[in-house]
Structure formats: structure tokens, C-alpha cells
Structure 1
Amino acid sequence: MQALDPLDDDAAATVFRDVILLALLGFVALVILLLPHVNPPQTKVSDLLTPGNVIVEIKWPEHIDADVDLWVQAPGDGPVGWSQRGGSIFDLLRDDLGYMNDLTAANHEMAYSRGVPAGEYIVNIHMYRNEVQQWPVPVWLIVSVKLDVEKPARQIILRKVALVRIDQEETVVRFELNESGELLPLTVNNLYKTLLESERL
């Protein structure tokens, strides 16, 4: 009588074992290759690099369908806003119209400068439209400065203003930066100066 040899099976069993073993090895290799990508390291929001050197942003609540316009003026330059989207220093990057032509509910506008010239900067907001007639409309202003292109921006001013009527223009902040791009704290004020003169003519 012959002893039973477990490895001495027919050809079909051998092929079946080979296919199963190769499939298992392929699955293990796939898991090993994908393992580092399962939980990739997250980039911190504060570490994201933004364009421009002086960054001016305004935000207002998502549930208010309003068009609040950002107007900025850099030293030696004209006002920049929705109708004059670029100057020699500032560019208006986003003009938010509220819910109109907007895929998200976020309400925000922003402007960026090219360079940091020394002198006075003026930031105004203007209530252009408020479809829901919900008053007051709180608007937050953030001004940041980035001197080194490889480093994140540094926030220098945070303000909140309440708009209470259509066509209201407010000077949220006026401030000066020195030749090194540093804020001169004693120059920060909100003395009114219109930036919409050319719009009203």
C-alpha cells in the first residue's frame, strides 16, 4: 500500500493553490503599498501660504444674503473695490455678491497687495445690497501682513463693524506700516474717509 502524499494531487488542485496563494500575496502587497496613504499628515490651516503681502479680508454671516463691498487704498495708489478691481499695489481677488452667482454660502471678500510700501492704508466697507433686509449686518475685518514668501501671514488687525442701512460706507481702519512692513500702533484709527467718490460722480 502506498503512503498518501498530500503534495501529490492532480494538476487542477495545484493550479487552484497557486492562484489562491498569488491572490493572497497580491492583496498583502496592495495593503502594504496603501498603508502610508490611509492617514496622510494634515497641513495646518495656519501654515498655508497665501499670495500677496498685505492681505485684507472681510466676512459676514452665511445666512444673510447681502452684498458687502470691500474697498482698500494703499499709499500713493487709488481706491480698489468692485468697480476698480486692480491698482498698482492692491488687487481685489474676490467680489462676493451674496447668494447671487455663488456656489457656496460663504460670504467673504479679499484683496492682496504686491509689496508692502510704507505709508497709510485705508480699509472701507460699503453695504451695496441686502436682499433679506436683516439688520444689522455684522462684518469682520482681518488684515494680515506677509513679508517673507516662504512664511505664513501674520495677523495685525481684527475688527468688527455693524452695517445698518443700504449705501452705508464705513472706514473700518486706517493704519500705517513702516519701511520694514511693521504696524505703527499709534497710527491705527477709523477716521472716516470715503473711497467711493468716483462711484458717486
Structure 2
Amino acid sequence: MSLRHRRRAREQEVDPFYDMLFNMLIAFVFCFLIALLVMNPKALKAGDIPSKAEYVITVSWPDLNPNDLDTWVQDPGGKLVWFRNREAGLMHLDRDDRGMSNDVITVNGRQVVNPLNQEVVTLRGIAPGEYTVNLQYYETRNGQPVDATVSVLKVNPRAEVVFYGSLKLMRPGDEVTAVRFTLLPDGSVAHINNLPKTLVERL
């Protein structure tokens, strides 16, 4: 066989391998472009809320405590976030924790318990004015008082604890003002206090 024929035969043997590599490259580029389109923030539907937060308000009570506390937050415009109204203005209640009521799930016939009792409200923008954070002792399973902690964390551009405090709710129906604070136009906080202000009874 001549050198020319040997070369042509070798090219024919190699061609399918290069074809496969080329097809794989095309598939990779196509998948990459699809991923970019999916992650493009402009592709978000109207009304979707981006998962951005300026402040995070966290209410916690002891692990495995069966009692139900509720978080109420009022913004400067008078709008309220609570378990029946989880979005209002720039505020969002991420989870309504009901003590042990919604902390037990069954997986493969076995019960799995989440011991954590915690509610989180995020402020997803800066609306200047006063915010009020109240706790309500909604329901009891053991008739005991409940100790709770409340924190306000500024998360943008870096984490900074603005407020941390503890309180005790004695009996179902009790409502306590945990903290009131004022957001300034530049996103900083002023006038932190816990002067009582009723939110639950105003509805």
C-alpha cells in the first residue's frame, strides 16, 4: 500500500473520534448556554422576590419546647407580617414555627424530629422609619412560661448584630414588644428601644 493510501486510511480511522469530540463540545456549549439562561436574573417572572436581605430578625425559643410563639413585625407604613400575612411591603416571614406541631415528619416509616424552634423575618430593602417586633404566646401544650431570644442582624454589606435580647412570655395570649428600631435612609439603625406597642389587638 502506498504512503498516500496509508495516510488516507489513517485519516478515515481518526475522523470518527474527532467527530465524537466535536459533538461533545457542541453539547457542552449548548448545556452551558441553557444554564446561563436559567440563571439570568432578567428571566425572573414579574412578582418574584429575589432572595436578598438587608436585615434578618430571628426569634428563637428552647429546642423541643412544644409551645407556639408567633412573631409580629410592623414596618414604618403600618404594614404587618405575621403567620396569616407572610409578605408585606419589603418584609417576609420565612417560616412559621409552631413548636412541635410542624417539627415532626415521617420518613420511611420512622419519625424524624427537628428540635429547633425558630422564626425568621427578612427585610429585603431599606424603607426608612420605625419597625416594631412583637412576640405573642399563641398556644401552649404544657402550660409553662416560654423564654425567647430575639436578634436583629444587619447582613448587607457585612454581618453586624444590631440588637440581641431575651424575654419571657408567661401564658397564652401574652404579647410583648421585643424591640423597636428606626432604619435611616442610609440603612443604619437608630433609636433602639422596647417601649410597649400592641400589634396583635389592632386587627
Q: Which residue of 1 aligns with 2:93?
A: 92
Kindly provide the amino acid, as one letter, of the partner of residue 160 in structure 1: S
Kindly provide the amino acid, as one letter, of the partner of residue 161 in structure 1: L
Does the C-alpha gap of structure 1 residues 51 and 102 become closer, same or farther in structure 2, counting only changes over 3 Å?
A: farther
Kindly provide the amino acid, as one letter, of the partner of residue 149 in structure 2: W
Return the offset for 1:147: 2.8
* Residue 110 of structure 1 pairs with residue 131 of structure 2: no
Structure 1 contact 77–87 (Cα < 8 Å) conserved: no
Q: Which residue of 1 aligns with 2:62?
A: 61
Structure 2 contact 177–195 (Cα < 8 Å) conserved: yes
Structure 2 contact 53–156 (Cα < 8 Å) conserved: no
**Matches of 1:95 and 1:58 in 2, distance apart?**
11
Q: Which residue of 2 aligns with 1:30?
A: none
Q: Which residue of 2 aligns with 1:189?
A: 193
Q: TM-score, normalised by structure 2?
A: 0.67
* Residue 143 of structure 1 pairs with residue 152 of structure 2: yes
**Matches of 2:53 and 2:91 in 1, distance apart?**
9
**Matches of 2:155 and 2:75 in 1, distance apart?**
15
Listed as ranges, the gaps of 5+ residues in structure 2 are 1-50, 105-113
Return the offset for 1:77: 4.1
Return the offset for 1:59: 0.4
Kindly provide the amino acid, as one letter, of the partner of residue 190 in structure 1: N
Runs of 4+ in 1 over 2 A off after TM superposition: none
Listed as ranges, the gaps of 5+ residues in structure 1 are 1-49
Q: Which residue of 1 aligns with 2:129?
A: 119
Structure 1 contact 64–134 (Cα < 8 Å) conserved: no
Of 177, 196, 201 in structure 2, the residue corresponding to residue 171 of structure 1 is 177
1:146-195, Cα deviation, whole Å (9 max, x unpaired): 233xx4x32110010101011100111111121111111xx111111111
Number of aligned positions between the proteins:
144
**Matches of 2:134 and 2:94 in 1, distance apart?**
16
**Matches of 1:69 and 1:156 in 2, distance apart?**
21
**Matches of 1:182 and 1:93 in 2, distance apart?**
23
Identity of aligned residues (%): 33
Kindly provide the amino acid, as one letter, of the partner of residue 191 in structure 1: L
Return the offset for 1:131: 0.3
Structure 1 contact 147–181 (Cα < 8 Å) conserved: no
1:64-117, Cα deviation, whole Å (9 max, x unpaired): 201100111121141110111110111100100111121401100011112022
Structure showing greater radius of gyration is: 1
Kindly provide the amino acid, as one letter, of the partner of residue 89 in structure 1: L
Q: How does 1:19-30 map to 2 (within 5 A)?
A: none
Structure 2 contact 72–199 (Cα < 8 Å) conserved: yes
Of 131, 135, 143 in structure 2, the residue corresponding to residue 133 of structure 1 is 143
**Matches of 2:169 and 2:128 in 1, distance apart?**
30
Q: Give the structure with the higher percent strand.
A: 2
